[in-house]
Structure 1
Amino acid sequence: MGNIQSVCVYCGASVRADQIYKDAAVRMGEVLAKAGLQVIFGGGKLGLMGLVADNAMANGARVIGIIPKLLENFEGAHPSLSELHIVDTMHTRKKKMSELADAFIVLPGGFGTLDELFEILTWRQLQMHDKPVIIVNVNGYWDPLRKLIHNIIEQNFAPTGHALFATFVDSPDEVLDILENGIESRLKEPSVG
């Protein structure tokens, strides 16, 4: 996998998500573990977050959770991680996750997932990192986001090349190909019709 040894997964904590998204989270944990990658995530036990962690650990991965005190009290930290960091704020959490990760994977999620994604894309725009960002577009969940990114570019709020800051794939099984092939694989970004 080259320089990539640790991958941060952003995803939702909702327990009400449809089964297709839960299945994708289960598969993502399996895929990353079987590739020998360490998993960094938000530290929660609920929803897609918990499923990614559980299935990564069940398949032998080291899993590190980072959760702010507020969410530890509200949602609960995952009880059996390889390592758990309880931090003071959401900002500290996102910074720590980005420092530990060599790449970022985005599964379906809500406002928190969008916040994490947009911050890491903004940091990429500001040349604070050049790590891969892979958006797993399960069931077309992120289609509106893809259109929004293209609209931002078409309306001249970002240069054309910024579309390559994130790569969209349709399933967890496609993630490893992107990680293995680096920038060349990201240049295959399909156009939005």
Structure 2
Amino acid sequence: MSKNILVYCGSSAGFDPIYEQEVKKLASALKKQEATIIFGAGSVGLMGILADEYIRLGGKCIGIIPSFMEPWEVKHKGIQECIVTESMHERKQKMAELADGVLTLPGGWGSMDELFEILTWKQLDLHQMPVGLLNINGYYDHLIAQMNHMIKEGFLKERNLSALHIENDPESMVDWVMQYEPEKMEKKWIYRG
């Protein structure tokens, strides 16, 4: 079965060429599974690298961009489908509606916002999609340490952190997302007695 994989990633490419190399490996692994990539429609940074490579490999990309970004001229011109939304909130909702799974690659504020929102939605049982964090070059090591600290301090349950699958290798991540079996989340906010 074909899967729609939502990919959150940076509009910057980072300084180290390893980010581009690993994103291209991810594109190749997703193409072997005949997935459709859903992303932020950008032509720059890791977003642009991912879309360029996926299109080069013959894959389908669906971009979703809010209307206020269109004048910035960052919208990818080569993607097969582009959906324009009225707001960032509508953009994120549309992305989630179309997706069967979510992967987060290195990125900045936008990628963090998207990752934590989709994890919160999962914790609230609003979806049962797989959510993966691709830790290229140890990019997310400090964030992973912070999440473990949240558990240690009693602000996050270990079971809910386990809803985020962390991998360093793109091929292993794709294997995991394609074989994922949904699970119900623990209601972390309910503390009684």
Q: Same fold (TM over 0.5)?
A: yes
Mapping of residues 11-26 of structure 1, within 5 Å: 11-26=9-24
Pick the aligned partner of 1:78 from 76, 82, 87. 76
- Contact in 2 for aligned 1:44/1:75 (Cα 8 Å): no
Q: Offset of 1:17 from its aligned partner?
A: 3.7
Pick the aligned partner of 1:116 from 114, 125, 134. 114
Identity, in percent, stands at: 38
| Superposition TM-score, scaled by structure 2 size | 0.89
Gaps of 5+ in 1: 185-193
Give the match for residue 89 of structure 2.
91
- How many aligned residue pairs are there? 182
Give the match for residue 52 of structure 2.
54
Instruction: Give every structure 1 segment of 4 or more consecutive aligned residues whose post-TM-superposition deviation is greater than 6 Å.
Output: none
- Contact in 1 for aligned 2:26/2:174 (Cα 8 Å): no
Mapping of residues 122-161 of structure 1, within 5 Å: 122-161=120-159
Q: RMSD of the TM alignment (CA)?
A: 1.6
| Superposition TM-score, scaled by structure 1 size | 0.89
Pick the aligned partner of 1:106 from 104, 107, 110. 104
- Contact in 2 for aligned 1:46/1:75 (Cα 8 Å): no
Q: Which has the larger radius of gyration?
A: 2
Q: Deviations over 1:39-63 (max 9, x none)?
A: 0000010010011111111112111
Q: Offset of 1:75 from its aligned partner?
A: 5.0
For residues 7 and 96 of structure 1, what CA distance do their matches in structure 2 show? 13
Higher share of residues assigned helix: 1
Distance 1:16 1:180, change over 3 A: closer
Give the match for residue 169 of structure 2.
171
- Contact in 1 for aligned 2:13/2:19 (Cα 8 Å): no
Partner amino acid for 1:174?
S
